Structure 1
């Protein structure tokens, strides 16, 4: 009886081991999926658009339905502010006292959802900027590189070649509320409003916001 009982235990052990190996094998063959964006974060990025360099501060705040791109071209004192709200309204403006500008954009899509990379096509692994990254492509529009170890974004490339290199990525960082207020001249009746210019920057420097709005628009097609 003792021998029979041991045989049962041994058989059960082999069965569990086989199931474990099967699960591990299945897990190993499944394509990884990109991490969802944190609901709030701050990223400092350097952008390259056909040799034109920009510094960009991205403040993503899904919890409050808003997204902010603060852009400065290389060796240019003018800073462009691209403020997006989840109701589809965006304000793209400068605060240069000598020539303040603002354009208001209305689109049918809001800011990117945290899971905007759902459904992206996995392309494998590639070493980028000294990081081993998983790579995905989304709707033939953006190529997204994520660090294998930390799952932080490392690099994005848009279909146009416009490239983002992520320098810092602070999860949970939030820009204080007063900084989200567009200047008063954005609400003047004389300011020009545009309806759905999704893929065209309204002022120099507003490229990233326009492209990100393009991703949201393509997802709704």
Structure 2
């Protein structure tokens, strides 16, 4: 009798495994970032607030974050796909830090391999939620596939206020000021509203 039951047990096991594989295959995956877009982000880090104009331009290998601190100054975080980065101001201080990093800007598919956590209502939007390497939690609108927010492991929150697919910043605005090239390159500080993304890119090459 045991011999006759064995094929049935195997059949049940195979059906169970197939069902699990189908369920996994049916899980949604995050949409790749558009190759060019402009987003306005409201950042909150334990009450430390800022606004970021994010310009992402993958075809031209560049990423630009214009950071307005609450009741404070504006800093410019300019990154190129060859690893060159500048963090500067345009005020009278003419401050600038530059560095050559090991990796370039985030790829459009940087969320590939993220773990699906289910759905959640976020700021009135019905979102799919993913987590990647215990580093970032990413929330995407179920219907439009646009990002709604992401939260870093540090607790820093990015709330997407606007998301313009295909928007491109004029070429002349991507040029770092001349005083960025008159100083010795230094390591970029871990301060700033997007320091976590630098950490994520560092993990990608470790």
Contact 1:110–1:213 (CA under 8 A) maintained in structure 2: no
- Residue 111 of structure 1 is matched in structure 2 by 105
Q: Flag the structure with larger Rg.
A: 1
1:156 positional shift:
0.6
In structure 1, which of residues 40, 44, 68 is the aligned counterpart of residue 40 of structure 2?
44
Matches for 1:38-187 after TM superposition, within 5 Å? 38-76=34-72, 78-97=73-92, 99-187=93-181
Q: Distance in 1 between matches of 2:27 and 2:113?
A: 12
Stretches of 4+ aligned residues off by more than 4 angstroms: none
Calculate the TM-score normalised by the size of structure 1.
0.80
1:163 positional shift:
0.5
Deviations 1:187-208 (A, max 9, x none): 00xx24224x5x712xxxx331
Aligned length: 188
Calculate the TM-score normalised by the size of structure 2.
0.86
Quickly say closer, same or farther: Cα 1:177–1:33, change in 2 above 3 A. Answer: same
- Cα RMSD over matched residues? 1.9
- Residue 19 of structure 1 is matched in structure 2 by none
Contact 2:56–2:62 (CA under 8 A) maintained in structure 1: yes
- Residue 207 of structure 1 is matched in structure 2 by 193
Flag structure 1 segments of 5+ consecutive residues without an equivalent. Answer: 1-21
Q: Distance in 1 between matches of 2:48 and 2:176?
A: 27
Q: Distance in 2 between matches of 1:155 and 1:124?
A: 15
Q: Distance in 1 between matches of 2:85 and 2:162?
A: 25
Contact 2:33–2:109 (CA under 8 A) maintained in structure 1: yes
Q: Distance in 1 between matches of 2:190 and 2:184?
A: 15
Deviations 1:95-127 (A, max 9, x none): 112x12000022101000000000001111111
